[in-house]
Structures are given as structure tokens and as C-alpha cells.
Structure 1
């Protein structure tokens, strides 16, 4: 595998969104003892086209070896560095309803370099209670260090999301994952990713409807020709 000697091009957001998928596949391959993977094999496992995968990895300066493929460990390390996952990121979850509690219990955070350190809720009845080895605090109890990288996760009802966001931003949080419905207003220096579960279900419903219609059409055609 060769690396570009000059500075890398700006990586498009769409490519950044696919890098964690490539990393997950590479780590699974490494766990099975696979040392080299072709672009076709990696693309198939990641659910993308091999040409698109090669273009994505070219932004990292990774081009593989023609006829051989990519060194699994080296490519995994490159993507890990590009995503900034060499160290551990602290996570603060706001909103201890059903979703917030489920996120607090999710073991996948720790295995991917994220440590849930704060569980936050403004309900006085929840503050001070124990949940998933952590004590729930209000925003006054959320005091990250000035040099600490913290990702805020908003799991509040929609009407409380903007207030929760404002509190996080006021305490220096610059990266927010929002599970609440609606858009958040943030400064230009703050990055927000929105997870809309209802929208994702609606998209799946669309595909299910299309697949069912195609199946009915195929069955009708079979009956006519039989």
C-alpha cells in the first residue's frame, strides 16, 4: 500500500460517513485473521461499489496494491487516525427517559473508543439516582475539563432539545448527536448530527412497499403465463 506524499484533499462528508463502516468491516476481518482484502471484497462487505470504495480511500492517500488489495491492519489504523479515534472520547447523554437509559446501557460505545461519563437530566427526582454505574446529574453537575473532548447526546423530548443543546454548548461541547425531533440552532463552531428514527422507518416502509408491489406483479405475471 502506498501513501500520497503530499497533503490530502478535503474529505467529503459522504466519504466520512462511510469510513466507520469500512473500519467496522476491517476490524471484523482482522478478528478472523484476515491480513489482506481486495477492494471488491471490502466493498461487498460494506455494501458499496468497489469503484466508490477506492475513491473514498484515495482521500486518505490509500491506494492498495494492484492485484493484491489492502493490508487490513494498516488500512484500519489509517481510518482510525483519520476519524480521530486513537484516544477516547467522553460522552454526555442528556435525557434519562427510555431512549437515554438504553443508550446509557449500550456496550458498543466503550468498544469503539467512547466513554459515557455523564448522565444528565433536569428532573429533580432523577438527579442523584444511580443508572448504569453512573450517577445522574443536572447541568450544574456537568463540568468537563477545558481540554476534554466531549460529545453530547440529546435524548430528550422534542420540546426540551434546544434548551439541552444550549446548555451543552455553553459548557464547551462542540459535537452533538441529536435523537430528538426537530432542528437545533447552534453556532457555526458546533457540529450536529441528527438521528431521526421515524424517518428511517418511513424510508424502510417505502422500500417494503416497492418490494411487495414487485412481488405481486411477478406473481400476477406467472399466473397469466401459466
Structure 2
């Protein structure tokens, strides 16, 4: 089942009794594109740009203008004909629609090469994600420092998740242990999981699971590369 994201819809006619905007759902494909718009808007903010046209924002995001306008209708139409979009205002509302204004505390389970690389990545904090813990079961790894974090014993997973108020978990684990650890994470109350494990995990309907399979993506890339090299084949 595909997940959807609830977005703010600032229509004056559709508000709650507390004057809060009503909500509508964003299709999964549009959610993915929203992240592109937000990245482009943040780049414009860094350059001091105050307004941007739909054509310029669409080009910076790699989509068509019609797709951009349709997607932005899910968070309300903030553009002005002939003037464009106010960059800071639109960025703020897209971030709110994606849930990036919440306090997201992330734990990484698995302190191998991938887990350590993720823990050291500086881009999470600027996007609203605070990596608060990293775990491993290897006695030779437990206690080592990864960036500013110290690797915790996975035997203490539940206790540390509670202490750090973690609400998102990244699984950077081998396939053989991924499901068992996933079950523990869910039992500890985590409802949002990103898995790099090369296995299909089973989770309850109330848990949001996203899977990143780099081998699969490389296979798809190889397919398109092969077709591009074959005369008469369209990519």
C-alpha cells in the first residue's frame, strides 16, 4: 500500500473551528517531487532570491510547469500571476506539508561502513533530522565514536530509543538480522523506518516503511545504459 502525506490546504472556506487549515493528501509521486521543489527553493533562498516564476522553479526542479502547478495545488496556490511565488513563504509551506517542521530524532541501527557514513552526513540536520543514536552488536565496534556519537550496544536498543525520544529509525543491516531488529524497533513504538537492508521486510499497516535498494537501482541503471548503447533502441 502506498503512503500519502497530509498537506496544509489554506482555503478560507475549509478551516477547522480553531482557524487551522483543513488538510488534504498528497499522492506519493507528488511527495517525491515536493522534495525537489524544496531543495530548489532553499538554494534560491541561499542566493537571496525573493520571488521565482513557476517556469524557473520547474526548470530548477527538473519537471514541467504544469506538473509543478498541479503539485503545489496540494499545499495551496501561493503564486501570483505575473509575479511568481514568494520563495520563503512557499518553502515554509512545503516544509510544513512534508512534516519537516516537526522534531525528528533519528537512530541508525548498524555501524558498518554504510551506517557510519550516514551518521557522519552533515546534510540531515539542515533538513530537520537530528541523528541521536547509532547501534551495533559487534563488541569490537560498540563504544567507538562515529562523528559526535558513540556506538551503543544493540542489546540496549529499546532503552536508548526511549531515552533519546527517537521517532525514526534507519536500518543499515545485513538481511539475516534485519527483520528481527525491525520487529524490535516497531515493538519499541517506532512508526517510521528507512531500510537499506537487502530484504523485503514485513511491517504492520500502521508503520511507514521506505526501502532503499542500491543494487536494484544499479540494475535498473545498467538496463537503461545497455539500451542506450544498442543501435535503434530508445532509452
Answer yes or no: same fold by TM over 0.5. yes
Q: Secondary structure at the match of 1:85?
A: coil
Gaps spanning 5+ residues in structure 2: where?
Answer: 1-8, 15-21
Q: Which of the pair has more CA radius of gyration? A: 1
Gaps spanning 5+ residues in structure 1: where?
Answer: 218-226
**Aligned partner of 2:152 among 120, 133, 137:** 137
Question: In 2, distance between residues paired with 1:178 and 1:66?
Answer: 42
Q: Secondary structure at the match of 2:26?
A: coil
**Aligned partner of 1:78 among 93, 98, 102:** 93
Question: In 1, distance between residues paired with 2:10 and 2:144?
Answer: 51
1:95 is aligned to 110
Q: Are positions 1:4 and 2:11 aligned together?
A: yes
Q: TM-score, length-normalised on structure 2?
A: 0.84
2:29 is aligned to 14
Q: Are positions 1:172 and 2:189 aligned together?
A: yes
Q: TM-score, length-normalised on structure 1?
A: 0.88
Aligned length: 215
Give the 4+ runs in structure 1 shifted more than 4 A: none
Q: Secondary structure at the match of 2:134?
A: strand
**Aligned partner of 1:50 among 57, 62, 65:** 65
**Aligned partner of 2:53 among 35, 38, 49:** 38
1:110 is aligned to 125
User: How far did residue 128 of structure 1 move?
Assistant: 2.0
Say which structure is richer in strand: 2
2:18 is aligned to none
Question: In 2, distance between residues paired with 1:13 and 1:165?
Answer: 23
